[in-house]
Chains A and B, each alone.
Chain A
Amino acid sequence: MVLLTLLAIVTLAIVRQRSLFGVVVLTIIYSFLMASVLIVLDAVDVAMTEASVGAGVSTVLLLATLHLIKTTEMRPVRTQLLPMFVVLGTGTVLVWGTLVLPPFGIADTPIHKHVAPRYLADSIKETNVPNVVTAVLADYRGYDTLGETTVIFTAGIGVMLLLRGARRRGRADSEKEPL
């Protein structure tokens, strides 16, 4: 509860903050709070990813982006009524959706009755891997992880093409200008 309150406070601070450098620093705090929440939920693998990706690499990339662009956010040019309405509507629908979810921590919900017991019981016998999370990610759900790896591959190629392609064009332009 304390962590969730802190998350809400940091989110409000991010929304209020107009200096993008401040926003980046606040998102680091947000990521570490999120990692703490995930540890409380016993999802250490996800917490580790959140701490290393959310607070580590994405911060570096955001700062690198700030190095390329201006560091203050522009004042909004249009009225904010429609976005406000959309956000409030989506929030209401999401809260309404959580009302019919089973209470947190209940063992006999459909998601715990489907394949999870089989994974917990047989994964050590079938894969020799004690960490069920690794067994599920890399073996039982191998297709999904292959897809994720391909997504990272595609994203990396896309960023490299964008940044390097633009640089080459910029150089060609500056070479033309003196003539």
Chain B
Amino acid sequence: MSLDLILRVGTKLILPFVLLFALYVQFHGDFGPGGGFQAGVITAGMVILLAITFGLDAAQRIAPPVVVQRMVPLGVLIYAGTGVAGLLMGRNYLDYSVLSHDPAHGHELGIFLVEAGVLITVAGTMTAVFYAFVERGR
């Protein structure tokens, strides 16, 4: 227990920054490298790091399995729903022009929503798969 003190304190110190970096990658994906997929993986990585260092229960207090499992289809629904919005407004599926008065702003908003959907699905799937493996190994 005393040997992994550095590991525990170190993990506690970097966890918020890992999550912050994931959010940076997500919302800065419009300007630099990154996007929903990478941000989702980094978010899942934060939960996995927590589970490795502090045990599965600590990780599942922060990211409950029920929430994680709901996230898996939710992201796909957000993505597909953004496309349906275009259909309802009389344009093509996944045409983001209708989301705002200015077509360019509509596209910006559409990309934002779609990336959010990807983030939710990827983070949820990676965490859920990790939970499934760990619970199986018990």
Contact = CB atoms under 8 A, between A and B. Distances in A.
A45 B36 CA distance: 11
A16 to B, nearest CB: 27
B94 A128 contact: no
Contact of B133 (A61, A128, A146): A61
A22 interface: no
A128 B104 contact: yes
A153 B80 CA distance: 13
Interface in B81-126: 83, 94, 96, 103-105, 107-108, 110-111, 114-115, 117-118, 121-122, 124-126
A40 interface: no
Contacts of A164: 132, 135-136
A135 B112 CA distance: 10
A146 to B, nearest CB: 5
B37 A128 contact: no
B1 to A, nearest CB: 22
A48 interface: yes
Interface residues of B, number: 51
A149 B135 contact: no
Nearest to A159: B129
A90 interface: no
A136 to B, nearest CB: 10
B72 interface: yes
A47 B136 CA distance: 32
Given A56-B45, A131-B30, A142 B114 contact: yes
A127 B42 CA distance: 26
A106 B32 CA distance: 25
A156 B72 contact: yes
A130 B44 CA distance: 27
B137 A64 contact: yes
Interface string A82-114: 000000000000000000000000000000000
Nearest to A68: B137
A137 interface: yes
Interface of A: 44-45, 47-49, 52-53, 56-57, 60-61, 64-65, 67-68, 125-131, 133-135, 137-139, 142-143, 145-146, 148-150, 152-153, 155-157, 159-160, 163-164, 166-167
Interface of B: 25, 29-35, 37-38, 41-42, 44-45, 48, 52, 69, 72-73, 75-76, 79-80, 83, 94, 96, 103-105, 107-108, 110-111, 114-115, 117-118, 121-122, 124-126, 128-130, 132-137
